Chains A and B, each alone.
Chain A
Amino acid sequence: MPSARLNNARLPRLLSTASLRLALTFSLIFGVGAALLVAGIDYGLFRFAEAETREDLTHQMNIMEGDAARLGGGGLIAMLEAQSRNHEARRYLFLVITTDGQTFSNGLARNAVNDEGFRHNLPNKPRPPRWPDQTPDLLVLSHTMPDGTLLAIGRDAKHLDELRGGIRTFALWSGLGVIALAMLAGLALGYQFLRRLGGMNRSVDRIISGNTSERLPAVGLGREFDELAANLNRMLDRQEATMEALKSVSEGIAHDLRTPLGRLRNRLEELEADAGDPARRQTGIDLAMQEIGQITALFDSLLALSRLESGQNPQGAPIDARGLIERVGEIYGPTVEDAGGTLRMHAPDAALPITVRGDEHLLMQALSNLVENAIVHGGDGPEITLDARQEGNYAVFVVADRGPGVPPDEREKVLRRFYRMDSSRSRPGSGLGLAMCAAVANRHGGTLTLSDNEPGLKVELKIPTTHAD
């Protein structure tokens, strides 16, 4: 079963899909982005904390300088010794060395201290030891008084390092988290995508294997994907319509060719029987020739029709609608009279010419087809009217009869190739005439409309006039 195969294949396929690559790329970009962000925060915070510590130390040094100037080196030491039991003072480390060798230190070594200015003592160990037990990570500010007394004050910079460490740990974990999330999201998206594409692919498989009426499901991942599915479905609709048309045409050809071929065969058989009688033989030959003429005409019409339907819009010369109507009227007048009918023309006023642009041969053929239809199907003694009028940007050629007409539900169908109403099957015709007229209208950017002439059939061929463009 294809679906089982697809399910089994999904996991490895997932790993090889574009969605996984996309997920990986996203994770990488997210990870790098997170790392950059954290590094920025880390640097900023550290700079801020260090600046704050330096400021604090500078402030304390000012106080100590004042004390040293007032009390002298010895006095300062005495005061510091007195204060060293105070808890507040334990935040700071002091080193005072007077010129006569008196020293105060609560843990600050001489080698950790400059003569003047800041010094940042970084611990040698990976993690700073807990202050005040051991020599910590220290930021030290020292100053040598004019009398030679060295003052130094230091402060544990452990909190800075802890901050950095914390930020780095956070960065590491959050970065990993982001990457993992991006991966998961990518895979989930990919899975969804594959599942829906899988549905589409199965539909396409079924369509290819002959189920031409099936349509693709909506993808449901977003408007664009649904539009894609809808577009593909429209394409399938068109293709199905084309296939249907092709099928009906093939059936039509087969059927319509069989009929005259069958008659031809009958004629030839009769001819064989009538071989002795010259007059009947001649009639038989003439009839057989007529059948062949019909078959040839059918092929000519089909060929002309397919050329019409595949062709470009004609870039013909301007054609006078009035002249066209008059010519058709002149050509068919005698034939209509012979059929016991009348052909009336309402050609437009010569003062108001209607000019269409197109292929004169094609328009002529379309109008001829319509008039012939009216002669053949317009009842006994057909009353045919031929008219051309301007309607907006269109020239409307009207061919109307007073015959039985075409019922409303058949009007669309009679425009199809080979479609013939039951009532007209016995009359001559290929079932291609109206299809050809519709194709001519189409090719000129116009329309062919059938309506009720009360009674009879009214056919309107609308062709854009030259002013339409």
Chain B
Amino acid sequence: MIDLQHIRKVFNEGQPNEYIAVHDITLNIEARQVTVLKGPSGSGKTTLLSILGCMARPTAGRIRLEDREITSLPERFLTEIRRSTFGFIFQQFNLLRGISVLENVMLPAYPLGVPFTALRSQARRLLELFNLAHKALAKVEWLSGGEAQRVAIARALVNDPVVIIADEPTAHLDTKLSREFMEIMRNFKSQGKTILIASHDPIVHESDVVDRVVQMRDGRITDPGVH
């Protein structure tokens, strides 16, 4: 589904603080599978996840999304792809404080111009799915860690993406909530969604939901393995 060819990512190129985050990575992500990028901090997982999700451009190399070359697309088209194809769940959840849970979930769909009532129904349906309907009008800063993460997941799903990308999703969750998260991923997988997770949490990469664990270290793939 997503094909990376000789991807390299350099930060602050040509400057004294130049840093190579990803070295010559070639990787193919299969559709409808759960793939985990596993590795210690600084191994390049997040950078690779950003490139896979069209959030950052590689310094060198090529990316194909379902046979479409997207490496050199202008920002506008990349945003369009990002919006329609990917749903992101961030490590810090990255919810906007001060606005309601419902508004947070609806945010990714605002630029699409979906009629308000249809959008609100869709967001409410997702909140019901995650047992958060009663919190729809609450501000996100009043939520517990588990609730905040479920809001972040609902937000990632509002545009009905094909691929779900999660960066260290269990970093701020206890064991019970981490297992619940993986159950939600299992559910998504059964719906035919492609799931990409960067994590070094054993609850994630040892889960039977996971199809493939890609081992990374120092910006390189040390084991492209299959779980």
Q: Judge: A and B partners, yes or no.
A: no
Interface residues of A (CB under 8 A from B): none
